[in-house]
Structure 1
Amino acid sequence: MLKLMLQSLRNRLTSVLLTLTVIAVAVALFIGVELVRSQAKQSFANTISGTDLVVGARSGNINLLLYSVFRLGNATNNIGWDTYERLSNTRGIAWTIPLSLGDSHRGYRVLGTNQAYFDHYRFGKKQALTLAQGERFDHLFEVVLGAEVAQKLGYQLGDKLALAHGAGGSTSFSLHDDMPFTVVGILAPTGTPVDRTLHVSLEAIEAIHVGWQGGVRTHGVKVDQVKQMDLTPNTITAFLVGLESKFQLLGVQRAINTYRGEPLSAVLPGMALAELWTLLSQAEKALAIVAAFVVAVGLTGMLTTLLASLNERRREMAILRAMGAGPRHIFLLLWAEAALLALVGTLLGYLLAQAVILALAPLALAHYGLVLSLDLPSGTILWMMLGVQLAGSAAGLIPAWRAYRHTLADGLTQRL
């Protein structure tokens, strides 16, 4: 029976290949949507770990999370340095990490911070930042690069670079080229926005903006003069908070949200991410529905092909009957062909989806900051593949039943 089925499929190679292509593309689309959705969630969730609160100027939870953690968008306002210092001493707060954003370098964001960033920032499963090369910044004009920045731009320890004013694109005409930075460290890859960030001190951010006003350089200042100035920042963009105890979370959050000095927002990273996924859930459902319809179209195409070829194969079926094959053998032959096509098409679709993910991973990382990787199929994907197999097998029952009902005389009779 298996040999006969394979020979039959080989004789109809063109239609079989077309059927497999339709099923494979449909399955690949569905799997691709699910992989991108799940890995995008995982990539976002792995960006920050062990941080209890993210504090910034009063704004929406999602906006605050996006610009402070994921380096997407810009802050609605800054926070006064005196406010930051006062809140850092709030009862229950164990540590804080100040963040100052706004500058860039060849399309990558620059982050001004202090040593607490390297001490307390965690990603993934509470993994600490580690240096692949060099050391932390210790002097004014030193910079520590994320892994992707160093790799893509080809920087090595000791290289010089100039920061650009504003979070511009890959090209900027407002350079702080009078105060170059020296690369002193390169962080190990994290798979998070840290890889696409240049890290400098808060004092360095203040230093490069001396002599600037409204985004325009008003007068030049020598490096030696800047080093003699008080470079304590006036404002920062946001700060991260770690608490002594989780039981103090709501109390500290309420104290920050009701702070009278200036309007602030303190958000829980996990809740902000959940809010983001809720916002995107409709788009996810729409993509899943479209992918499901494509799979249905693929299975319908397979059924149509089988039914269309059935009339051409009626004499083949009759000859098999004449050689001793019973109706049950004919039924099993056609049903097994449909089941095999569904199985092979599903497996090819899975391999195609993995190949596309592998090819698009560098582009997704470079343009959207999403880490896409090959992985074992999740429960959702396995259930979907099983569903396609069952649906394909069920679709094969229709042509198999029609062949079963055809009589020997009907197959051998010439119809003019």
Structure 2
Amino acid sequence: MMLMLSMAARSAWNRRFNLLLMLLAIAMSVAMLLGVERIRHAVRASFAQSVSGTDLVVGARTSPIQLMLYTVFHLGGATNNMRWDSVERLARHPAVAWTIPLSLGDSHRGFPVLATTASYFTHYRYGDRRALELAQGRIFPSLFDAVLGAEVASRLGYRVGDRIVLSHGDSGDSGDSGDDGPHADPAGDHDHADKPFVVSGILARTGTPVDRTVHIGLDAMQAIHLGWEGGAPLPGLAILPEQVRKFDLTPHSVTGVLVGLKLRSQVFAVQREIAEDPHEPLTAALPGVALDDLWRVIGVAERAMLLVSALVVVVGLAGLASSILAALGERRRELAILRAVGARPRDLLAMLALEGLVVMAAGALLGLLLLSTLAAGLGPYLEATYGVALQAAWPTPGEWPLLVAAVAAGFCVSLLPGWRAYRLSLADGLMPTT
């Protein structure tokens, strides 16, 4: 048997270029299988951690999923707003450590505008409890200042100091104001063109909906709607930017509130109190639970990713089988000589099956090394750009079954040419061919 293995090793060395191509094909298939599995889990973790460190999300009575969609992902709109006195009452609750009021409804060239307070930049967390960071500028040094998410600034080409105009409602690409900047466009009928904003800061990329959001102060949101009624400005009533400070800029209502508690163990008690609030019908959603429910609705893409990677592995195994079968035709004389020196058919079957197992195991190991190299090189870029943390790590408990299954499948595929070699006769390999 040792002699046969030595001969098989020499045979493999003579076919080293074909085997190298086989190894690369298997390595890329395995790397894609494990890579997609890791990206799948990373995408789900990133989705679930779009907001972290927040114990409750509170808004007007609605479903928890709908509440999460418009407060965290800024999609859709609230059917009702939450009164400001409820926000103040919630902030005074003895179990509440901090609150972040959020108000939506306006947009800028298709991007949502989020009105909030300085507590948003202090307490908002995403991912593994990471805080928001400024890439440039400052946070609301004056009333009509805006802080842009990284994607807004990148796609629209904004820099600190540029002037922008907000639009009332989700009005798509409304253009910018200003007659002194590179982004000037005609203002629409529902633009707040009389009160332009100055970009005071740009946030570092997070890979969350924060990147696609324009942030302004709650008082600024109130200021730009002075003199508006029913979603349109009142005719003949114009309030200049320098006059808005004469008015009370306290909001009457907000879209929702992010709540952090002093003790997380009190979350269910506070949630029940909010649901039973006699002053206003409210919903308090647990972010983790609501996001899991939402993922079950949109998670079909996750399963599709795994299916695609499995198909890639199947294609790789088919290539392995075809390569071994093609090589078998060239090795018929070699196998016949082994038979002539005493090798039994089952010895040939075992040799070829073992060869396939070794090639598959080596390809899987090479694929794991390839994935780790790609993760080390592209991981920081993926996390900074898409918020997906792809790390170079040893296979997780969930990945080992996939790795073992791929190697086992390769071993089973190698049995096909082994069985064919088992059935080849001695005379078939030694007979001269024309």
TM-score range, shorter chain: 0.7 to 0.9
Distance 1:211 1:360 in 2: 50
- Aligned positions of 1:4-403 closer than 5 A: 4-8=11-15, 10=17, 21=25, 23=26, 27=30, 30-171=33-174, 173=188, 174-219=190-235, 220-280=238-298, 284-285=302-303, 287-289=305-307, 291-292=309-310, 294-296=312-314, 298-307=316-325, 310-311=328-329, 313-319=331-337, 326-327=343-344, 330-331=348-349, 334-335=352-353, 337-339=355-357, 341-343=359-361, 346=364, 347=366, 351=370, 370-376=386-392, 378-379=395-396, 380-403=398-421
Distance 1:355 1:121 in 2: 31
Distance 1:19 1:190 in 2: 38
Corresponding letter in the other structure for 1:182: V
Distance 1:283 1:196 in 2: 22
Percent of matched pairs sharing the same residue: 47
Would the aligned equivalents of 1:358 and 1:374 in 2 still touch at CA under 8 Å?
no
Distance 1:287 1:374 in 2: 15
Distance 1:48 1:96 in 2: 14
Distance 1:62 1:99 in 2: 17
Range 161-170 or range 288-297, more displaced: 288-297
Distance 1:153 1:410 in 2: 72
Distance 1:291 1:283 in 2: 13
Would the aligned equivalents of 2:376 and 2:392 in 1 still touch at CA under 8 Å?
no
Corresponding letter in the other structure for 1:244: K
Give the secondary structure class of the aligned counterpart of 1:250.
Answer: helix
Per the TM alignment, residue 93 of structure 1 is displaced from its structure 2 partner at its CA by 1.9
Would the aligned equivalents of 2:60 and 2:80 in 1 still touch at CA under 8 Å?
yes
Aligned pair count reads 408
Range 195-204 or range 206-215, more displaced: 206-215
Distance 2:420 2:374 in 1: 39
Per the TM alignment, residue 205 of structure 1 is displaced from its structure 2 partner at its CA by 0.8
Corresponding letter in the other structure for 1:107: G
Give the secondary structure class of the aligned counterpart of 1:315.
Answer: helix
Q: Alpha-carbon deviations, 1:294-314, whole Å to 9, x = none?
A: 534542453355346535542
Distance 2:54 2:389 in 1: 26
| 1:90 to 1:265, Cα distance in 2 relative to 1, 3 A | same
Per the TM alignment, residue 280 of structure 1 is displaced from its structure 2 partner at its CA by 4.6
Q: In the alignment, which residue of structure 1 is the partner of 2:180?
A: none
Distance 1:94 1:374 in 2: 34
Distance 1:340 1:214 in 2: 73
Give the secondary structure class of the aligned counterpart of 2:270.
Answer: helix
Would the aligned equivalents of 1:31 and 1:353 in 2 still touch at CA under 8 Å?
no
Would the aligned equivalents of 2:58 and 2:258 in 1 still touch at CA under 8 Å?
yes
Give the secondary structure class of the aligned counterpart of 2:54.
Answer: coil
Instruction: Give the alignment's TM-score, normalised by structure 1.
Output: 0.82
Distance 1:409 1:117 in 2: 82
Q: In the alignment, which residue of structure 1 is the partner of 2:424?
A: 406
Range 377-386 or range 277-286, more displaced: 277-286
Per the TM alignment, residue 356 of structure 1 is displaced from its structure 2 partner at its CA by 11
Q: Note the residue ranges of structure 2 that are not aligned, 5 or more in a row.
A: 1-7, 176-187
| 1:240 to 1:299, Cα distance in 2 relative to 1, 3 A | same
Corresponding letter in the other structure for 1:73: G
Per the TM alignment, residue 53 of structure 1 is displaced from its structure 2 partner at its CA by 0.6
Corresponding letter in the other structure for 1:7: N
RMSD between aligned alpha carbons? Answer: 3.7
| 1:226 to 1:199, Cα distance in 2 relative to 1, 3 A | same
Per the TM alignment, residue 104 of structure 1 is displaced from its structure 2 partner at its CA by 2.2
| 1:345 to 1:77, Cα distance in 2 relative to 1, 3 A | farther
Q: Alpha-carbon deviations, 1:163-192, whole Å to 9, x = none?
A: 222234445544322211122233344343
Q: Note the residue ranges of structure 1 that are not aligned, 5 or more in a row.
A: none
